[in-house]
Structure 1
Amino acid sequence: MPVGLIRTLVLALSLLPLSAWGQEHGHGKAAAPYAGMQERQIKSLSDRDVEELRQGRGWGLALPAELNGHPGPVHLLELKDELALTPEQVDTITQIFEDMKSDAIDAGERLISAEAALSDAFAGKSPDTKRLRELLADAAQARAELRFIHLSRHLSTPALLSQDQIETYSLLRGYASDPCSAVPEGHNPEMWRRHNGCE
Protein backbone atom coordinates (compact mmCIF):
# COMPACT_ATOMS: atom_id res chain seq x y z
CA MET A 1 0.00 0.00 0.00
CA PRO A 2 1.45 3.41 -0.93
CA VAL A 3 2.70 5.54 2.00
CA GLY A 4 0.46 8.46 0.96
CA LEU A 5 -2.65 6.28 1.15
CA ILE A 6 -1.64 4.93 4.57
CA ARG A 7 -1.14 8.48 5.89
CA THR A 8 -4.55 9.50 4.52
CA LEU A 9 -6.23 6.52 6.22
CA VAL A 10 -4.48 7.18 9.53
CA LEU A 11 -5.49 10.86 9.36
CA ALA A 12 -9.09 9.98 8.52
CA LEU A 13 -9.31 7.48 11.39
CA SER A 14 -7.79 9.97 13.83
CA LEU A 15 -10.54 12.46 13.01
CA LEU A 16 -13.32 10.08 14.04
CA PRO A 17 -14.97 11.05 17.33
CA LEU A 18 -13.82 9.01 20.31
CA SER A 19 -17.33 7.67 20.73
CA ALA A 20 -17.02 5.89 17.38
CA TRP A 21 -14.13 3.81 18.71
CA GLY A 22 -16.18 2.62 21.68
CA GLN A 23 -19.29 1.61 19.77
CA GLU A 24 -20.30 -1.99 19.73
CA HIS A 25 -22.02 -3.26 16.63
CA GLY A 26 -24.58 -5.88 17.52
CA HIS A 27 -22.91 -7.09 20.71
CA GLY A 28 -23.38 -5.87 24.26
CA LYS A 29 -25.28 -3.00 25.83
CA ALA A 30 -24.35 -0.25 23.36
CA ALA A 31 -26.39 -2.05 20.71
CA ALA A 32 -29.44 -2.34 23.01
CA PRO A 33 -29.99 1.02 24.76
CA TYR A 34 -33.77 0.42 24.97
CA ALA A 35 -33.58 -3.13 26.32
CA GLY A 36 -36.31 -3.67 28.89
CA MET A 37 -38.41 -0.74 27.72
CA GLN A 38 -40.48 -3.11 25.58
CA GLU A 39 -42.08 -4.26 28.84
CA ARG A 40 -43.54 -0.81 29.51
CA GLN A 41 -47.29 -0.50 29.21
CA ILE A 42 -46.82 2.86 27.44
CA LYS A 43 -43.58 2.56 25.51
CA SER A 44 -42.71 6.28 25.55
CA LEU A 45 -43.34 6.74 29.29
CA SER A 46 -41.65 5.03 32.23
CA ASP A 47 -43.59 4.14 35.36
CA ARG A 48 -41.88 7.08 37.03
CA ASP A 49 -42.98 9.42 34.22
CA VAL A 50 -46.58 8.28 34.62
CA GLU A 51 -46.39 8.76 38.40
CA GLU A 52 -44.94 12.28 37.97
CA LEU A 53 -47.70 13.21 35.54
CA ARG A 54 -50.45 11.76 37.74
CA GLN A 55 -49.14 13.72 40.73
CA GLY A 56 -49.10 16.99 38.77
CA ARG A 57 -45.34 17.41 39.22
CA GLY A 58 -43.21 19.63 37.01
CA TRP A 59 -41.52 16.86 34.98
CA GLY A 60 -38.84 19.42 33.99
CA LEU A 61 -41.29 21.26 31.75
CA ALA A 62 -40.77 24.67 33.38
CA LEU A 63 -36.97 24.85 33.10
CA PRO A 64 -36.97 27.87 30.74
CA ALA A 65 -38.73 29.86 33.47
CA GLU A 66 -37.07 28.29 36.50
CA LEU A 67 -33.55 28.84 35.20
CA ASN A 68 -34.22 32.39 34.04
CA GLY A 69 -35.33 34.02 37.28
CA HIS A 70 -39.00 33.00 37.47
CA PRO A 71 -39.26 30.91 40.65
CA GLY A 72 -41.60 27.93 40.80
CA PRO A 73 -44.37 27.88 43.39
CA VAL A 74 -43.42 24.42 44.69
CA HIS A 75 -39.84 25.42 45.45
CA LEU A 76 -40.89 28.79 46.85
CA LEU A 77 -43.06 27.01 49.39
CA GLU A 78 -40.24 24.57 50.19
CA LEU A 79 -37.93 27.52 50.85
CA LYS A 80 -40.46 29.82 52.51
CA ASP A 81 -38.44 30.12 55.75
CA GLU A 82 -35.11 30.75 54.03
CA LEU A 83 -36.78 33.36 51.80
CA ALA A 84 -38.65 34.94 54.73
CA LEU A 85 -41.92 34.82 52.82
CA THR A 86 -44.73 36.73 54.49
CA PRO A 87 -47.98 34.94 55.39
CA GLU A 88 -49.67 36.81 52.52
CA GLN A 89 -47.00 35.63 50.07
CA VAL A 90 -47.36 32.06 51.32
CA ASP A 91 -51.16 32.17 50.93
CA THR A 92 -50.98 33.54 47.38
CA ILE A 93 -48.23 31.15 46.29
CA THR A 94 -50.10 28.22 47.87
CA GLN A 95 -53.18 29.09 45.80
CA ILE A 96 -51.06 29.31 42.63
CA PHE A 97 -49.56 25.92 43.45
CA GLU A 98 -52.90 24.25 44.16
CA ASP A 99 -54.45 25.59 40.93
CA MET A 100 -51.37 24.53 38.98
CA LYS A 101 -51.38 21.03 40.45
CA SER A 102 -55.07 20.49 39.74
CA ASP A 103 -54.73 21.67 36.14
CA ALA A 104 -51.49 19.71 35.68
CA ILE A 105 -53.07 16.45 36.88
CA ASP A 106 -55.87 16.82 34.33
CA ALA A 107 -53.45 17.71 31.52
CA GLY A 108 -51.09 14.93 32.59
CA GLU A 109 -53.88 12.38 32.24
CA ARG A 110 -54.58 13.67 28.72
CA LEU A 111 -50.89 13.28 27.85
CA ILE A 112 -50.79 9.75 29.29
CA SER A 113 -53.87 8.83 27.25
CA ALA A 114 -52.41 10.32 24.08
CA GLU A 115 -49.11 8.48 24.52
CA ALA A 116 -50.97 5.25 25.31
CA ALA A 117 -53.01 5.61 22.09
CA LEU A 118 -49.81 6.13 20.11
CA SER A 119 -48.19 3.09 21.73
CA ASP A 120 -51.30 0.97 21.16
CA ALA A 121 -51.45 1.99 17.50
CA PHE A 122 -48.02 0.49 16.90
CA ALA A 123 -48.79 -2.60 19.01
CA GLY A 124 -51.61 -3.59 16.68
CA LYS A 125 -51.90 -3.04 12.98
CA SER A 126 -49.54 -0.22 12.03
CA PRO A 127 -51.34 3.13 11.70
CA ASP A 128 -51.45 4.79 8.31
CA THR A 129 -49.72 8.17 8.00
CA LYS A 130 -52.97 10.12 8.39
CA ARG A 131 -53.77 8.37 11.68
CA LEU A 132 -50.18 8.75 12.82
CA ARG A 133 -50.37 12.52 12.29
CA GLU A 134 -53.59 12.64 14.32
CA LEU A 135 -52.05 10.67 17.17
CA LEU A 136 -48.94 12.84 17.17
CA ALA A 137 -51.03 16.02 17.10
CA ASP A 138 -53.04 14.82 20.12
CA ALA A 139 -49.87 14.01 22.07
CA ALA A 140 -48.20 17.29 21.10
CA GLN A 141 -51.27 19.31 22.09
CA ALA A 142 -51.51 17.55 25.45
CA ARG A 143 -47.81 18.11 26.12
CA ALA A 144 -47.99 21.78 25.09
CA GLU A 145 -50.98 22.36 27.38
CA LEU A 146 -49.19 20.70 30.29
CA ARG A 147 -46.10 22.78 29.66
CA PHE A 148 -48.19 25.96 29.46
CA ILE A 149 -49.75 25.17 32.83
CA HIS A 150 -46.35 24.88 34.52
CA LEU A 151 -44.65 27.77 32.73
CA SER A 152 -47.57 30.17 33.17
CA ARG A 153 -47.52 29.68 36.93
CA HIS A 154 -43.85 30.63 36.97
CA LEU A 155 -44.88 33.89 35.29
CA SER A 156 -47.07 34.64 38.30
CA THR A 157 -44.40 34.53 40.99
CA PRO A 158 -41.84 37.32 40.35
CA ALA A 159 -44.37 40.11 40.97
CA LEU A 160 -45.09 38.62 44.40
CA LEU A 161 -41.44 38.64 45.50
CA SER A 162 -38.82 41.23 46.32
CA GLN A 163 -35.68 41.33 44.23
CA ASP A 164 -33.74 40.12 47.27
CA GLN A 165 -36.06 37.11 47.59
CA ILE A 166 -35.59 36.26 43.91
CA GLU A 167 -31.81 36.55 44.21
CA THR A 168 -31.80 34.44 47.38
CA TYR A 169 -33.97 31.84 45.65
CA SER A 170 -31.47 31.64 42.80
CA LEU A 171 -28.62 31.22 45.27
CA LEU A 172 -30.44 28.56 47.27
CA ARG A 173 -31.36 26.63 44.13
CA GLY A 174 -27.78 26.83 42.87
CA TYR A 175 -28.50 28.98 39.79
CA ALA A 176 -26.63 32.11 40.81
CA SER A 177 -22.91 32.69 40.95
CA ASP A 178 -20.88 31.28 43.81
CA PRO A 179 -23.14 31.37 46.90
CA CYS A 180 -20.03 31.59 49.07
CA SER A 181 -19.04 34.97 47.67
CA ALA A 182 -22.07 36.88 48.96
CA VAL A 183 -24.36 36.21 51.91
CA PRO A 184 -27.91 37.47 51.26
CA GLU A 185 -29.20 40.17 53.57
CA GLY A 186 -30.89 38.81 56.67
CA HIS A 187 -28.96 35.51 56.73
CA ASN A 188 -26.50 34.48 59.39
CA PRO A 189 -23.15 34.41 57.52
CA GLU A 190 -21.81 31.39 59.42
CA MET A 191 -24.99 29.33 58.91
CA TRP A 192 -25.23 30.42 55.25
CA ARG A 193 -21.66 29.32 54.53
CA ARG A 194 -22.17 26.02 56.35
CA HIS A 195 -25.49 25.37 54.50
CA ASN A 196 -23.82 26.06 51.14
CA GLY A 197 -20.67 24.04 51.83
CA CYS A 198 -18.36 27.05 51.88
CA GLU A 199 -14.95 26.63 53.50
Structure 2
Amino acid sequence: MKMLSIRAAATVAATCAIVVSAMPGHSVAQHAAHPAAAHPAAAHPASAQQSGYAGMQSREIKALSPEQVADLREGRGMGASLPAELNGVPGPLHVLQLAQQLEVTPPQRDALERLTAEMKVQAQHLGAQLIVAEETLDRAFRTRSIDERGVQEATRHIASLQGQLRAVHLVAHLKTRGLLSDEQVAAYNRARGYAASTESVHRH
Protein backbone atom coordinates (compact mmCIF):
# COMPACT_ATOMS: atom_id res chain seq x y z
CA MET A 1 0.00 0.00 0.00
CA LYS A 2 2.89 2.33 0.81
CA MET A 3 4.58 1.46 -2.49
CA LEU A 4 1.38 2.38 -4.35
CA SER A 5 1.23 5.80 -2.65
CA ILE A 6 4.82 6.56 -3.64
CA ARG A 7 4.11 5.70 -7.30
CA ALA A 8 0.96 7.84 -7.28
CA ALA A 9 2.88 10.80 -5.89
CA ALA A 10 5.55 10.38 -8.55
CA THR A 11 2.90 10.32 -11.26
CA VAL A 12 1.29 13.51 -9.96
CA ALA A 13 4.69 15.28 -9.79
CA ALA A 14 5.54 14.30 -13.37
CA THR A 15 2.14 15.53 -14.60
CA CYS A 16 2.61 18.89 -12.86
CA ALA A 17 6.05 19.30 -14.43
CA ILE A 18 4.61 18.73 -17.91
CA VAL A 19 1.81 21.25 -17.30
CA VAL A 20 4.21 23.91 -15.98
CA SER A 21 6.64 23.50 -18.89
CA ALA A 22 3.79 23.95 -21.37
CA MET A 23 2.67 27.24 -19.78
CA PRO A 24 3.63 30.45 -21.70
CA GLY A 25 5.14 32.02 -18.63
CA HIS A 26 7.64 29.21 -18.34
CA SER A 27 9.28 29.92 -21.73
CA VAL A 28 9.25 33.67 -21.00
CA ALA A 29 11.08 33.06 -17.76
CA GLN A 30 13.71 31.01 -19.57
CA HIS A 31 14.26 33.80 -22.15
CA ALA A 32 14.37 36.41 -19.41
CA ALA A 33 17.21 34.51 -17.82
CA HIS A 34 19.27 34.85 -21.02
CA PRO A 35 18.45 38.29 -22.59
CA ALA A 36 21.70 38.60 -24.55
CA ALA A 37 21.30 35.21 -26.19
CA ALA A 38 17.65 35.82 -27.08
CA HIS A 39 18.31 39.34 -28.49
CA PRO A 40 21.90 39.58 -29.78
CA ALA A 41 21.23 43.04 -31.29
CA ALA A 42 20.53 44.38 -27.81
CA ALA A 43 24.11 43.63 -26.85
CA HIS A 44 25.32 46.12 -29.53
CA PRO A 45 22.90 49.10 -29.49
CA ALA A 46 25.46 51.51 -31.00
CA SER A 47 25.76 49.59 -34.27
CA ALA A 48 21.99 49.83 -34.83
CA GLN A 49 22.13 53.66 -34.53
CA GLN A 50 24.88 54.38 -37.08
CA SER A 51 24.00 57.44 -39.18
CA GLY A 52 23.37 57.29 -42.89
CA TYR A 53 25.79 60.24 -43.10
CA ALA A 54 28.69 58.14 -41.83
CA GLY A 55 31.69 58.69 -44.11
CA MET A 56 30.57 62.12 -45.29
CA GLN A 57 32.53 63.75 -42.47
CA SER A 58 35.65 63.31 -44.60
CA ARG A 59 34.32 65.61 -47.34
CA GLU A 60 36.13 68.91 -47.82
CA ILE A 61 32.73 70.63 -47.91
CA LYS A 62 30.27 68.61 -45.90
CA ALA A 63 27.12 69.73 -47.77
CA LEU A 64 28.57 68.98 -51.23
CA SER A 65 29.87 65.71 -52.65
CA PRO A 66 32.98 65.83 -54.87
CA GLU A 67 30.68 65.13 -57.83
CA GLN A 68 28.47 68.10 -56.97
CA VAL A 69 31.49 70.36 -56.63
CA ALA A 70 32.71 69.25 -60.07
CA ASP A 71 29.26 69.86 -61.59
CA LEU A 72 29.09 73.36 -60.13
CA ARG A 73 32.53 74.21 -61.43
CA GLU A 74 31.62 72.98 -64.91
CA GLY A 75 28.29 74.82 -64.96
CA ARG A 76 26.20 71.67 -65.34
CA GLY A 77 22.46 71.74 -64.76
CA MET A 78 22.25 69.13 -61.97
CA GLY A 79 18.51 68.76 -62.57
CA ALA A 80 17.85 72.51 -62.21
CA SER A 81 15.95 72.68 -65.50
CA LEU A 82 13.65 69.69 -65.03
CA PRO A 83 10.44 71.79 -64.95
CA ALA A 84 11.30 72.96 -68.47
CA GLU A 85 12.88 69.81 -69.87
CA LEU A 86 10.12 67.46 -68.75
CA ASN A 87 7.37 69.79 -69.92
CA GLY A 88 8.58 69.84 -73.50
CA VAL A 89 10.80 72.94 -73.40
CA PRO A 90 14.25 71.89 -74.72
CA GLY A 91 17.65 73.02 -73.54
CA PRO A 92 20.30 74.38 -75.95
CA LEU A 93 23.01 71.82 -75.30
CA HIS A 94 20.83 68.79 -75.97
CA VAL A 95 19.35 70.41 -79.07
CA LEU A 96 22.87 70.87 -80.44
CA GLN A 97 23.61 67.22 -79.67
CA LEU A 98 20.53 66.28 -81.74
CA ALA A 99 21.12 68.95 -84.40
CA GLN A 100 21.18 66.59 -87.37
CA GLN A 101 18.11 64.67 -86.25
CA LEU A 102 16.20 67.91 -85.64
CA GLU A 103 17.43 69.46 -88.91
CA VAL A 104 18.82 72.48 -87.11
CA THR A 105 19.65 75.27 -89.59
CA PRO A 106 23.02 77.13 -89.60
CA PRO A 107 21.47 80.31 -88.10
CA GLN A 108 19.80 78.24 -85.41
CA ARG A 109 23.08 76.47 -84.64
CA ASP A 110 24.91 79.78 -84.28
CA ALA A 111 22.26 81.13 -81.91
CA LEU A 112 22.21 77.91 -79.87
CA GLU A 113 25.98 77.85 -79.55
CA ARG A 114 26.01 81.46 -78.29
CA LEU A 115 23.21 80.66 -75.86
CA THR A 116 25.02 77.57 -74.58
CA ALA A 117 28.25 79.52 -74.07
CA GLU A 118 26.46 82.32 -72.21
CA MET A 119 24.62 79.84 -70.02
CA LYS A 120 27.84 78.01 -69.12
CA VAL A 121 29.73 81.18 -68.22
CA GLN A 122 26.93 82.41 -65.96
CA ALA A 123 26.43 78.98 -64.39
CA GLN A 124 30.15 78.54 -63.70
CA HIS A 125 30.33 81.99 -62.11
CA LEU A 126 27.40 81.31 -59.81
CA GLY A 127 28.58 77.75 -59.15
CA ALA A 128 31.96 79.04 -57.96
CA GLN A 129 30.22 81.48 -55.61
CA LEU A 130 28.00 78.70 -54.27
CA ILE A 131 31.01 76.50 -53.54
CA VAL A 132 32.66 79.35 -51.60
CA ALA A 133 29.44 80.04 -49.67
CA GLU A 134 29.04 76.39 -48.66
CA GLU A 135 32.73 76.21 -47.74
CA THR A 136 32.38 79.31 -45.57
CA LEU A 137 29.34 77.90 -43.76
CA ASP A 138 31.11 74.58 -43.26
CA ARG A 139 34.18 76.28 -41.79
CA ALA A 140 32.06 78.40 -39.46
CA PHE A 141 30.51 75.30 -37.93
CA ARG A 142 33.84 73.50 -37.79
CA THR A 143 35.46 76.38 -35.88
CA ARG A 144 32.34 77.01 -33.75
CA SER A 145 32.38 80.63 -34.91
CA ILE A 146 28.76 81.05 -36.02
CA ASP A 147 25.60 82.11 -34.21
CA GLU A 148 21.91 82.05 -35.14
CA ARG A 149 22.08 85.33 -37.03
CA GLY A 150 25.11 84.09 -38.96
CA VAL A 151 23.26 80.92 -39.93
CA GLN A 152 20.29 82.91 -41.22
CA GLU A 153 22.50 85.23 -43.27
CA ALA A 154 24.59 82.41 -44.70
CA THR A 155 21.63 80.24 -45.66
CA ARG A 156 19.80 83.18 -47.27
CA HIS A 157 22.89 83.89 -49.36
CA ILE A 158 23.20 80.23 -50.39
CA ALA A 159 19.50 80.04 -51.27
CA SER A 160 19.82 83.18 -53.41
CA LEU A 161 22.75 81.73 -55.32
CA GLN A 162 20.90 78.45 -55.84
CA GLY A 163 17.89 80.32 -57.17
CA GLN A 164 19.97 82.42 -59.55
CA LEU A 165 21.79 79.34 -60.81
CA ARG A 166 18.55 77.51 -61.46
CA ALA A 167 17.12 80.53 -63.26
CA VAL A 168 20.13 80.61 -65.62
CA HIS A 169 19.33 77.10 -66.84
CA LEU A 170 15.56 77.60 -67.01
CA VAL A 171 15.87 80.87 -68.95
CA ALA A 172 18.21 79.14 -71.42
CA HIS A 173 15.47 76.58 -72.05
CA LEU A 174 12.92 79.32 -72.68
CA LYS A 175 15.23 81.06 -75.15
CA THR A 176 15.92 77.75 -76.88
CA ARG A 177 12.21 77.15 -77.35
CA GLY A 178 11.94 80.50 -79.06
CA LEU A 179 14.57 79.47 -81.61
CA LEU A 180 12.85 76.22 -82.66
CA SER A 181 9.79 75.34 -84.69
CA ASP A 182 6.95 73.29 -83.23
CA GLU A 183 8.04 70.37 -85.42
CA GLN A 184 11.59 70.53 -84.05
CA VAL A 185 10.34 70.62 -80.47
CA ALA A 186 8.11 67.60 -81.11
CA ALA A 187 11.05 65.75 -82.68
CA TYR A 188 13.23 66.68 -79.69
CA ASN A 189 10.70 65.30 -77.21
CA ARG A 190 10.38 62.07 -79.20
CA ALA A 191 14.15 61.68 -79.36
CA ARG A 192 14.48 62.27 -75.62
CA GLY A 193 11.66 59.86 -74.78
CA TYR A 194 9.20 62.48 -73.52
CA ALA A 195 6.69 62.41 -76.39
CA ALA A 196 3.86 60.47 -74.71
CA SER A 197 3.84 62.51 -71.49
CA THR A 198 4.26 65.93 -73.11
CA GLU A 199 1.59 65.25 -75.71
CA SER A 200 -0.81 64.16 -72.95
CA VAL A 201 -0.17 67.39 -71.04
CA HIS A 202 -0.73 69.54 -74.13
CA ARG A 203 -4.04 67.82 -74.87
CA HIS A 204 -5.31 68.84 -71.44
Q: TM-score, normalised by structure 1?
A: 0.73
**Change in 2 beyond 3 A, CA 1:82/1:141:** same
Aligned residue number for residue 185 of structure 2: 166
Cα deviation 1:153-183 (Å, max 9, x = unaligned): 11101121111110111111111229xxxxx
Shift, 1:152, TM fit: 0.8
Shift, 1:31, TM fit: 3.7
Q: How does 1:6-155 map to 2 (within 5 A)?
A: 26-27=46-47, 31-125=50-144, 127-155=146-174
Shift, 1:118, TM fit: 1.2
SS in 2 for 1:32: coil
The separation in 1 between residues aligned to 2:90 and 2:46, in whole angstroms, is 46
Q: Which runs of 4+ in 1 moved over 2 A?
A: 25-28
Cα deviation 1:17-75 (Å, max 9, x = unaligned): xxxxxxxx7536x8431121111111111111011110111111111111111101110
Structure 2 unmatched ranges of 5 or more: 1-44, 198-204
User: How large is the Cα RMSD of the aligned pairs?
Assistant: 1.6
The separation in 1 between residues aligned to 2:193 and 2:139, in whole angstroms, is 41
Count of residues paired in the alignment: 153
Shift, 1:121, TM fit: 1.3
The separation in 1 between residues aligned to 2:80 and 2:195, in whole angstroms, is 20
SS in 1 for 2:128: helix
Q: How does 1:179-194 map to 2 (within 5 A)?
A: none
Identity %: 43
Structure 1 unmatched ranges of 5 or more: 1-24, 179-199
Shift, 1:126, TM fit: 5.0
Q: TM-score, normalised by structure 2?
A: 0.71
Q: Which has the higher helix share?
A: 2
SS in 1 for 2:100: coil
The separation in 1 between residues aligned to 2:88 and 2:103, in whole angstroms, is 18
The separation in 2 between residues aligned to 1:112 and 1:88, in whole angstroms, is 36
Q: Greater CA radius of gyration, 1 or 2?
A: 2
- Higher RCO (CA < 8 A, seq sep 6+): 2
